Structure 1
Amino acid sequence: MSRGVLVTGASRGIGRAVATAFAARGDRVAVHYGSGRADAEETLCGLAGAGHVLIGGDLGDPAAAQELAEAAIEGLGGVDVLVNNAAVAPGPGNVHAIDTVGYADWQRTWRRMIDVDLLGAANVTYHVANHLIGRGATGSIVNVGSRGAFRGEPDYPAYGAAKAALHAFGQSMAVALAPHGIAVTSVAPGFISSERQHAKLDGPGGAAISAQSPFGRVGTPEEVAAAVLHLASPEAAWSSGAVLDLNGASHLR
C-alpha cells in the first residue's frame, strides 16, 4: 500500500537516499529542502513512481515548519511517515570549539543548530502527529540523529547537543504517541560518505576517518536509508523508542 512520506532535508546525501528508497517501495514522497532547490529538484526527478511533491522552507522558522508540514499533507493527500533528517551539519563555516570561537559566533551557531536540528524537527513532528491523530491513522516517525550525540563533538558541541536532544525527544514521543498507534524511532549514523564529505574523505585525513571503523570504511547514505525504511515499516512498530547505532562499530555504548 502506498504511503505519504515527508522527508526533510532531502536535497542531497542521506535525505536523497531516504527519499529514493521510499519511492522505490512505491510510496509518495514530499522532498523538502531548505535552500538547495536545484539539488532537491534533482532528487525529485530521480524518484521512481508518481505523486511526489517538492516543498521548500526554513525549519528554523516555526511558521515555515508548519507551512511545509501542511503543504506535504495537502500535496500527498496525507502523511503517514515523517523522516526528520534536515540539519545544520558540521562544516568549516560553523566550527565553534569553545577555546577558539568568539562569543558572538558561539551564540549564533548554537541558536541556528538548535533551531533547525532540534526545534525544527519537533515542530514538524507536532503537525504530522496531530494530522495522524486527527485521521485516526497509524504511522511512523524516524529521526536522523548522530553518533556525535554519544561520542561527543568537541569542535561542534551545539550539533552534538542538538542530536542528543533529538534522540531524547524521539523517546518522549514514542511514549506519548504509542496510544495513537504511531511509532517513533531514531537512527544515529557515524561518518557517512555523502557529497559534502567527499573532499574530507579524499584529503590527508581520509584514511584515519575510515580507520575509525573495524570495517575499514565509512557508511553510505544508502545504508542509512535501508535502516530508516525498515524502522518506518509496520513490522518495526515494536522498535518504537529505540535509537539504532549505524556506525560500523566505530563507537560502542
Structure 2
Amino acid sequence: MDFTGKNVLITGASRGIGKATAMAFAKKGAKVGVNYKNNDEAAQMALQELPGEGHHLFKRDISQKEETKALIDDFIKVYGQLDVLVNNAGISIFHELDHVDFDHWTHAWEKTFETNLFAAANLCYWGTKAMMKSGGGHIVNVSSRGSFRGEPTKPAYGASKAALNAMSQSLAKKLAPHHIYVGVVAPGFTETEMAQETLTPAERENLLRESPFKRMARPEEVAHAILFLASEGAAYSSGTIIDVNGASYLR
C-alpha cells in the first residue's frame, strides 16, 4: 500500500489507535492531518514522531457540529484536497442502568452520541463535499466489537457504534457512484495508553481471557486494517466491516 501524495485526516489522532494510524499513513508517504480536542502536549509529541514532511495539527472539538465544517475547511486550506478521512475519535461513559440516576443516564447518551455518531456523520457530510470536488476518496469509520456483542455497562457506546456501522453501509451505497468508498474497522479492546491508565488488574485479566490469542489488539494491528480500507485496491470492499478482535467475538 502506497499513499504517496495522499492527504489524510484522522480524528482523535494524538493517542492510541488514531496515533498509530497516523504513523502508519505517514510511513506510507501520506501527509497527515492530526485532529485532536485539547491535549496540546500529546498532539505535539504525536506530530513530532511522524516520519516525512507536511503533517499538521488541527485542534477542533468535533462534538460541536460547527467545528466539523471548520475542521474540513481548515484541512482544505492547508492541503487543497482531502483523499482519506478516518473517523476515529470516540468516547465511552459508564452508565449502568441499575446504578445511575436519570440525569447521568441521559447525559451519557447525549455526550456519547455527539462524539461517536453525530461528529462522524457531520464529518462524512463535509468531507464528502470536499471529495466530490476532487474526484473521490475513502472514508474509514472506527467502530467497535461492542456494536455487535452489546455493552451492558455502556449501552450508549454500543448503540452509537452500531449506528455508525449502519450509517457507513448506507453511505457506501450512496457514494459509490461518486468514487467515494466507505469502510468500517471494528476493534476489540486495544492496548492503548487509556487502557493502561484505566484498567484494573482484574479487568485486564478478564479481557485477556476473551481471545484465544490471550492478549489485546495492538493499535498498529487496527491501523493496518484502516490502511487496507483506505487503499486504492479496496474500492470494491466498500461497505465492509473488518473485525480486529482476535477471535474474541465471532459473527
Scaled by the length of structure 2, the TM-score of the pair is 0.96
Q: Which runs of 5+ in 1 are unaligned?
A: none
Kindly indicate whether the alpha-carbon contact (under 8 Å) linking 1:183 and 1:237 is maintained by their aligned counterparts in 2. yes
Corresponding residue to 1:205 among 193, 196, 203: 203
1:122 and 2:121 aligned: yes
Q: CA deviation at 1:77?
A: 2.3
Whole-angstrom CA distance in 1 between matches of 2:214 and 2:161:
25
- The yes-or-no answer on 1:5 pairing with 2:47 is no
Q: Which of the residues 41, 60, 63 maps onto 1:60?
A: 63
Deviations 1:187-211 (A, max 9, x none): 1100100001014556133222111
Task: Supply the distance in 1 between the matched residues of 2:250 and 2:168 (Cα, whole angstroms).
Answer: 20
| Distance in 2 (alpha carbons) for counterparts of 1:162 and 1:54 | 27
Instruction: Determine the structure 1 residue equivalent to 2:137.
Output: 139
- Hey, which bits of structure 1, 4+ residues long, moved more than 3 A? 199-202
**Percent identity among equivalent residues?**
45
Tell me what 2:84 maps to: 81
Q: Could you tell me which residue of structure 2 aligns to residue 252 of structure 1?
A: 250
What amino acid is the match of 1:171? Q
Q: Give 1:76 shift.
A: 2.0
Provide the aligned C-alpha RMSD in A: 1.1
Q: How far, CA to CA, are the matches of 2:191 and 2:115 in structure 1?
A: 22
Q: Give the structure 1 partner of residue 25 of structure 2.
A: 22
Out of 162, 165, 189, the residue aligned to residue 164 of structure 1 is 162
CA distance in 2, matches of 1:32, 1:209: 29
CA distance in 2: counterparts of 1:61 and 1:200, whole angstroms:
26
Structure 2: unaligned runs, 5 residues or longer: none
Q: Which SS does the other structure have where 1:59 is aligned? A: coil
* Cα displacement string for residues 57-110 of structure 1 (whole angstroms, at most 9, x for unaligned residues): 11111101110111112222211000000111x3xxx31011111101111111
Q: 2:150 maps to what in 1? A: 152
Question: How many angstroms apart in 2 are the aligned matches of 1:9 and 1:35?
Answer: 10
Partner of 2:219: 221
Distance in 2 of aligned mates of 1:73 and 1:85: 19
